[in-house]
Amino acid sequence: MKIVTIVGARPQFIKAAPVSKAIEKYNSETGNPKLTEIIVHTGQHFDADMSDIFFRELDIPEPDYNLDVNNSSHGAMTGRMLVKIEEVLIREKPDWALTYGDTNSTLAGALAAVKLYIPVAHVEAGLRSFNRKMPEEHNRVLTDHCSDILFCPTRTAIENLNREGISGKDSSSAAGGNRPLVALVGDVMYDSVLHNMEIAEKYSDILKKLNLKPKGYALATVHRAENTDQPERLKSILQGFEQIAQEGLQVIIPVHPRTRQSLKNSKFSIKNSKLNFIKPVSYLDMLLLEKSAQVILTDSGGVQKEAYWFEVPCITLRDETEWVETVDAGWNVVVGADHKKIVDAARFFKRPDHISDLYGDGHAGEKIVEILVNDGCLGFSNHCKTRNNY
């Protein structure tokens, strides 16, 4: 079996790593037929601090293809990716296209594959924010509805799919039956955290570099278009951060390239700010910064979950979240961009006593490979009769 893995953004590198390791483990076991993984990097995150370093730290094989598609509008980026991914798929003739998350790379990969009658498997399927103003929401919905296997991280994700009429039941439906296969496998990012946290604690010196004491600072990330592309929202968020810093809690902000540009456009004066703006950090450094923070303020879905796993209070800078389990568990509060709510949440957050096992057992990558091998092969044999377009 040949699998084409399509990634393009920092969170996707993190999600893909456990699956790549599970493929390597499967191939090392005697008697197993070989799985071939072809990695396609669309180039959506092209900054070395957001891309290259993640492949090295996560020990992911170097991409077989780097499409270098970035720095353009959503439509132009998705269209260029679609063309280039299609060329790769025609050349490689894979049995499966494996997509991750909710980026433009996700949607382009799924569309390119289905047009060529190549089965699509979607990792992190079923997530919904129910905010149709988010480009990511459209990406994840459209990808789910053209996927043949949907790998869900939570039971909530499965319920979301059921409400939309996606309710695959058995393995014979995968990639060729009337219904897709829907599988609860857990969260691949949890796999990554469990594997990499010990490495981070051993090798990362980010706290020393920044002269930080554990639980002595707030960690903040802002990158979503809904915040960076709306000056009033970004201004209000920064105002909240400034007040937190003025009240004595240092605020560390690894600056995403999009946010950096928005700060320039808004003429925000970093020099006159009490906030500590730093360059994007590596995955291992970010894990240690998250675990050691007193509180995390973010609009990132991945960071919300990592805060939960590290038992660090999280304040979400959005009007909703797809990770509702973290809110229900009391570890996450959604405040939007209101600076007063941001400050109040940081002041009065009531920390729960414990976390629950909401995101699986840390073996999602292995479960994904097992399903692709067993159910995917069966579905592919039924599906290949129609694959005559390439």
143/75 Cα distance (integer angstroms): 16
**Alpha-helical segments (H) within the chain:** 10-28, 52-57, 74-92, 104-115, 135-145, 155-163, 188-203, 206-209, 225-228, 231-246, 257-266, 283-292, 301-309, 324-328, 339-348, 364-371, 377-383
Three-state helix/strand/coil letters over 185-215: CCCHHHHHHHHHHHHHHHHCCHHHHCCCCCC
Strand order in the sheet with 314-316: 276-278, 250-254, 217-221, 295-298, 314-316, 332-334
Q: Of 326, 280, 285, which is closest to residue 305 (Cα–Cα)?
A: 326
316/337 Cα distance (integer angstroms): 9
> In the annotation, is 223 catalytic?
yes
Report how far Cα 196 is from the mean position of its chain's Cα atoms.
16
Q: 41, 45, 122, 223: which one is catalytic? A: 223
Identity of residue 126 = G
Active-site residues: which are they? 223
